[in-house]
Structure 1
Amino acid sequence: MRTPQSRLFQAAVMQSWNAIVITDADLAVGGRVEIANPAFCKMTGYTLDELRGRSLKILQGPETDPAVIDELRNCLREGRVFEGTAVNYRKDGSAYTVRWSITPVRDDDGVVTHFVSVQRDISESIRAEHENRLLARALDAASDPIIVTDVDKRIIFANLAFANVTGYGVEEVIGKTPALFRSGEHDDEFYATLRASLASGSDFRATFINRRRDGSLYHAEQSISPICDDTGRVSHYVSVSKDISERVDLEQALRQAATEDTLTGLHNRRHGLHLLEAAQRRTQAQGTSLSLLVCDIDHFKRINDRFGHPAGDRVLREVARILRQSVRSRDTVIRWGGEEFVVVLEDCPQGPAAELAERMRARVAEHRDAEVGTCTVSLGLATRAPHETTDALFARADAALYQAKRSGRNRLAVA
């Protein structure tokens, strides 16, 4: 007669979601099945009637690891608990991976009478693990830098391309947040837009200026996408980027070549003309003053003829530096061509403009080149009249310059 306790134990075994099988202790035949719960029958494809009295050797097959089976037998002979993983085969011949533990059951005299095995089909977990490893290898082989973060923005994966670009080892960034790479070049609005985009479930794409491990900056064309779990909740974020530093440098060099005089570093004539016209439009709209200085190095041809063009180029750079250092931060200094310079003075009436021009002239005259010695400049100044065009303003300043040269050079003439 079964006791309430034995009925409870039997119910627990038969209703467990883990596969449970109980065999006798006859190791000569490998242990015959006495009890197998529905979960075990479902996992193997055998009914209890088909299993009862048979050895579980019927579940072994070509891919079952003999070393695991040998270890199992040793444990059972010695009455020890066994834990292991192996490939078994269902009744229909299909393979599955099982993780199981086998525990000996002893009677009151300590003799092993049965073995209880608790098993779990881990085929899906193994398959998912293999797929994850394959995915990790694929991501690692990608040429573009990739990182994956959890929902708290902690990095859980970084590929080799990311390590190569940033200079950090993969193990150094795991557990860190992408804030590690912040350069300080982006404002709060940039990051607020990023957070708002990801919070809405949308991708965020932008050009990031990031900082490498050695402190150097690089430009990355980067996309960040949220990853959702089966319930639709964001669980991770994946970032794929491309180092575009070379392209950015090239674009910057092209822009610089289009706007900058290569010898002096000042605005070139083409770009300077655009800046002059823009200044003219602003002053006309705002009703402020606009003064224009035209400056020319005196006897520059003599410098080239006597000391050579390298010396002449050096004098041009020195004069350009003095002019740039003499003006206000909002003023524009242009190398107009040859030894001629133009200075655009916004919101600067004639009186202050003349004082600034005199300061320029004096500083150039005070400067001494080690080879050439001193040189001087002549300047022409014109202040824009109401409704005067840019061309007319320039013509008046240019005429004033020639007046300064006719009057003996190294002086300012005001139109």
Structure 2
Amino acid sequence: MIVAPHPLFDQPLIKSFLQAFEHSMMTFVITSAETDAVPYRFLYVNERFKQQTGYDEPDLKDQSPKILQGPKTSPEVLAELKRKLRRQETFIGQAVNYRKDGSEYIVRWSINPILDERQQVVAYISCQMEVNERVQDQEQAFFLAEAINQTADAALITDLKGRIVYANRAFTLLTGYELEEIKGRNTRMFKSGKMPPDFYQRMWETLLMNQSFKGIFLNRHKDGHAFFEQKTITPIVDEYNQPIYFLAISKDSSEVIEKTHHLEYKAYHDALTGLFNRSKFDELMVAKLRHFEHEGAVFSLILGDLDDFKPLNDTYGHDVGDEVLKQLASVFRHSLRKDDVVIRWGGEEFCVLIDSDLKSTEFVAQLLKDRIAEIDLEALPDIRLTMSFGVAQAQSGDDPETLFKRADEAVYAAKKAGKNRVRIQPESSEGSDPGSD
């Protein structure tokens, strides 16, 4: 039924389509462009539309689909519809509409722009389907989902905006919230604020492609404590493969992650000082050399060796020796920048990886040397600690062994020159300075 004349309907092909629409079980509506005096006014509706809504031609003349809206029609859906139409994009959505007699029904529809030869919008065509029966089936399915309450994994169902529709008992145990407290609220309420924003961006990009997303979330419990949640989120789609809900299945993985972190800490940290150990040094050195070769990111290595540690250890015992090493570690920690990496290489040797050139790094080594000389051992007032340092800068073609060897040779030169000194890589390495006391 043509509600209002339009040049579009003069085209033979369009007339053929309208004849086909009249016999369709689907609802078809054509509305005018937004530039008309009455934006989106009805131009055409098929017989199914009249049966569905109770409206006839006189009712629709000079009217727009606004007459179908009512108290339960979602403003968010309408806003998204307008955004899509103004960008000449296809809109797919679901909302509550109202018939002429005031009764409500749920419709799922898609709207596409009709463009002329200049790619200008001349009208919009909408294909609609009433989904009351399907929604009722889904609601019954949610009642059946009570069976999920018997599972150990937490289950959460949300709409496409992340608003909570259903949660099982395991989810209550996991988060501390009852369903009545959270139903209708957005899942962002669980955010701890400690996850990077791009994590959630990747999540939404994956879900909106109708793909499952797996990840570990750091969320917040009702009582305020943070916990790790291993979660899989899967879109629930309709018969047209369009997402209508999201189902999240998760479990508390805090204990596993804490154990993993503990094992990783032990693998990469020195048990006595808490500094990184040689294993971590090897890993970081390879990464920094790769970054240097590919990006030209300059960095240097400081190698320090405590002077005369063996006699001290043999004379006063390993307990005193261990305390000395702890104090040395403290000096390194508090004398360096946050991004500088300190490693206990082994025994009385310490390394620093620093993102600076040779001259700046030599200055840092001098600072460390001076601060170590100021350490006051209360139990051993007559002992003065000193350390000899070697400094080397990464060069093209270096591997971890060659860079470490140059720093080690510089330490040897410092020891030979009388200890408690800083020496830089041998002069044969790109004409470096001989170093200073």
- Range class of TM-score, shorter chain: 0.5 to 0.7
The within-5 A match list for 1:53-132 is none
2:371 to 358, 363, 370: 363
1:249 matched residue in structure 2:
258
Cα distance in structure 2, aligned partners of 1:240 and 1:384: 48
Quickly say closer, same or farther: Cα 1:198–1:308, change in 2 above 3 A.
same
Residue 375, structure 1, aligned to residue 385, structure 2: yes
1:186 matched residue in structure 2:
195
Residue 220, structure 1, aligned to residue 229, structure 2: yes
Residue 352, structure 1, aligned to residue 360, structure 2: yes
Cα distance in structure 1, aligned partners of 2:212 and 2:260: 26
State the Cα distance separating 1:336 from its structure 2 match: 0.9
1:341 matched residue in structure 2:
350
Question: 8 Å contact 1:181–1:210 — kept in the other structure?
Answer: yes
State the Cα distance separating 1:179 from its structure 2 match: 1.0
1:162 matched residue in structure 2:
171
Question: 8 Å contact 1:311–1:372 — kept in the other structure?
Answer: no
Report the residue type matching 1:378 in the other structure: S
State the Cα distance separating 1:199 from its structure 2 match: 3.7
Number of corresponding residues: 288
3-state SS in 2 of match to 1:368 = coil
2:11 matched residue in structure 1:
none
Quickly say closer, same or farther: Cα 1:208–1:400, change in 2 above 3 A.
same
State the Cα distance separating 1:231 from its structure 2 match: 8.1
Question: 8 Å contact 1:292–1:382 — kept in the other structure?
Answer: yes
1:238 to 220, 225, 247: 247
Residue 174, structure 1, aligned to residue 187, structure 2: no
Cα distance in structure 2, aligned partners of 1:368 and 1:360: 15
3-state SS in 1 of match to 2:258 = helix
Q: How does the TM-score come out when normalised to structure 2?
A: 0.57
Once the two structures are superposed, residues 193-225 of structure 1 have per-residue CA deviations (whole angstroms, 9 ceiling, x without a partner) of 333444444433322221112332222221223
Question: 8 Å contact 1:298–1:409 — kept in the other structure?
Answer: yes
State the Cα distance separating 1:400 from its structure 2 match: 2.7
Work out which of the two has the higher radius of gyration on C-alpha atoms and give 1 or 2: 1
Question: 8 Å contact 1:307–1:372 — kept in the other structure?
Answer: no
Once the two structures are superposed, residues 128-164 of structure 1 have per-residue CA deviations (whole angstroms, 9 ceiling, x without a partner) of 999865541x222210011223455332332221122
Question: 8 Å contact 1:303–1:372 — kept in the other structure?
Answer: no
Cα distance in structure 1, aligned partners of 2:363 and 2:138: 79
Residue 402, structure 1, aligned to residue 408, structure 2: no
Quickly say closer, same or farther: Cα 1:142–1:348, change in 2 above 3 A.
same
Quickly say closer, same or farther: Cα 1:334–1:196, change in 2 above 3 A.
closer
Report the residue type matching 2:233 in the other structure: I
**Structure 1: 5+ residue stretches without partners:** 1-126
State the Cα distance separating 1:389 from its structure 2 match: 5.1
Question: 8 Å contact 1:293–1:379 — kept in the other structure?
Answer: yes
Quickly say closer, same or farther: Cα 1:319–1:238, change in 2 above 3 A.
same
State the Cα distance separating 1:376 from its structure 2 match: 2.1
Quickly say closer, same or farther: Cα 1:129–1:224, change in 2 above 3 A.
closer
State the Cα distance separating 1:305 from its structure 2 match: 3.6
Quickly say closer, same or farther: Cα 1:157–1:131, change in 2 above 3 A.
closer
Report the residue type matching 2:406 in the other structure: R
2:280 matched residue in structure 1:
271
Cα distance in structure 2, aligned partners of 1:226 and 1:385: 52
Cα distance in structure 1, aligned partners of 2:309 and 2:333: 19
Task: Tell me the C-alpha RMSD between the 2 structures.
Answer: 3.2
Quickly say closer, same or farther: Cα 1:403–1:160, change in 2 above 3 A.
same
State the Cα distance separating 1:357 from its structure 2 match: 0.8
3-state SS in 2 of match to 1:241 = strand
Q: How does the TM-score come out when normalised to structure 1?
A: 0.60
Quickly say closer, same or farther: Cα 1:169–1:310, change in 2 above 3 A.
farther
Cα distance in structure 2, aligned partners of 1:226 and 1:134: 19
Cα distance in structure 1, aligned partners of 2:380 and 2:278: 27
2:102 matched residue in structure 1:
none
Report the residue type matching 1:377 in the other structure: M
Question: 8 Å contact 1:291–1:384 — kept in the other structure?
Answer: yes
Cα distance in structure 1, aligned partners of 2:373 and 2:421: 10
Quickly say closer, same or farther: Cα 1:234–1:366, change in 2 above 3 A.
same
Quickly say closer, same or farther: Cα 1:154–1:270, change in 2 above 3 A.
closer
State the Cα distance separating 1:317 from its structure 2 match: 2.2
Identity of matched residues, %: 35
Cα distance in structure 1, aligned partners of 2:254 and 2:293: 41
1:18 matched residue in structure 2:
none
Quickly say closer, same or farther: Cα 1:157–1:305, change in 2 above 3 A.
same
**Structure 2: 5+ residue stretches without partners:** 1-136, 427-437
Question: 8 Å contact 2:174–2:251 — kept in the other structure?
Answer: no
1:85 matched residue in structure 2:
none
